[in-house]
């Protein structure tokens, strides 16, 4: 079932990769971190939206059970969090000032210098919590599936 879930979410995987690269490039391209620019390539918001949409499509298009729907959402969340984790590690290892190592991105106090010691626990926590949230978001999407085109027979 996990392999089927990953086949089903191929488009979200590509979108998450594009968003991660875009977000990674923002500060390197000279766009300072701000509330507006932060929202431009928000991997978390993309995860929320795709989890809801793919949760809504999981029964009618993917033929998934409720457990499968949760697995679809969790898989989307997992891919997103792995991309965020990897981008954070690359940023820290390369000494790169990217949006992934901004104090706000790891929920630290304003002006805190982001280091391995404060970034990795934050990212590891996100890896667990956001996978569970994405699974729940997919289930909400499945509850709303009746609003999707072609769902009424």
Task: Give Rg (Cα) of the chain.
Answer: 17
How distant is the alpha carbon of residue 92 from its chain centre?
Answer: 20
Q: pTM for this one?
A: 0.94
Q: pLDDT band at 149, cuts 50/70/90?
A: confident
Percent of the chain with pLDDT over 90: 94
In whole angstroms, what is the distance from residue 52 CA to residue 39 CA?
19
């Amino acid at each position: 079932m996990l392999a089927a879930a990953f086949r089903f979410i191929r488009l979200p995987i590509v979108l998450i990769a594009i968003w991660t690269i875009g977000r990674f490039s923002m500060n390197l391209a000279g766009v300072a971190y701000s509330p507006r620019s932060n929202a431009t390539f928000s991997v978390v918001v993309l995860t929320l939206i795709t989890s809801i949409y793919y949760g809504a499509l999981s029964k009618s298009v993917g033929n998934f059970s409720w457990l499968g729907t949760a697995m679809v959402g969790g898989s989307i969340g997992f891919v997103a969090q792995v991309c965020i984790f990897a981008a954070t590690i690359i940023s820290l290892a390369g000494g790169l000032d990217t949006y992934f190592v901004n104090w706000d991105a790891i929920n630290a106090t304003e002006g805190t210098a982001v280091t391995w010691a404060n970034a990795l626990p934050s990212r590891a926590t996100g890896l667990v919590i956001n996978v569970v949230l994405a699974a729940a978001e997919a289930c909400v999407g499945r509850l709303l599936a009746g609003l999707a085109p072609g769902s009424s027979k």
